[in-house]
Amino acid sequence: MVKRYVDFREQRGAELYDLQKDPDSYYQWYSRGKEYAASNKLDFSPPTTPEELFTIVKQIVEKFKNYIEMGRGYEVLWAEGRPRAEKVSQRVFAGVAKPYCEFTDIDISKEVNLGAGPVDFKFSRGLSKRALIEVKLASNSKFWNGLTAQLPEYMRTEEITDGLFMVVVYSLKDLRRYNHIQGLVSEVNKQNGFNIEIELIDARPRKSASKL
């Protein structure tokens, strides 16, 4: 069976990646994000306390939200009428976040293995100023696990208090699922002594003004 598959792949040859459409957002994420950040700057100095760091992180997330919802960034998260995978949302967020982190002298690391598995993003400036972000599609079958298990475990492992759970919605069904999360966040924070906040990223397609 294995030999048949190998023979099949050899006969078929390598599949070319469509660079123009860039379906997995391998390269467009950085250039678009950098362009947006350059024209929508944050007026912050490098953080000197954990609270200041988390404030900047939340502002970066807010910029990403504006980019997706108001700056037509949602178009990057769709391909041929279908929503793209979770990893694409993560890459696009990285594209927006990296320039802001450079402006404020914050280190951003993607998919850092903290012992309990890789967290999506870790922001830090020294050992005392750190925050984590987990990005999940509301349609992900492990959506609830990301909030109740993954992110809290990462935070316990690193002894980090501040975290943000970013939820990307592609449909009204996704949005309804998100609406049940508020009470759960409060419970997770109460049980663990964390400061986890949530942010909704509405990536549903918009109608152009000419079609309204």
- Contact between 163 and 196 under an 8 Å Cβ cutoff? The reply is yes
pLDDT of residue 150: 87
Instruction: Pull the structure tokens for residue 90.
Output: 């993560």
How many whole angstroms from its chain centre is CA 126? 22
Q: Scanning the structure block, which residue is given the tokens 């939200």?
A: 65
pLDDT of residue 21: 65
Q: Which helix (H) or strand (E) segment is 109 a member of?
A: strand 107-113
**Residue 114 — φ and ψ, nearest 5°?**
-105, 20
Mean predicted confidence (pLDDT) in 136-150: 86
Reported pTM? 0.83
What is the arrangement of strands in the sheet containing 118-124, beginning at the earlier edge strand? 107-113, 118-124, 130-137, 162-169, 195-202
Q: 24-40 pLDDT, tens per residue? A: 666 666 677 778 888 88
- The domain limits of the chain are 19-206
Half-sphere exposure of 110 (CA within 13 A, CB side): 13
pLDDT of residue 64: 96
Percentage above 70 pLDDT, the chain: 82
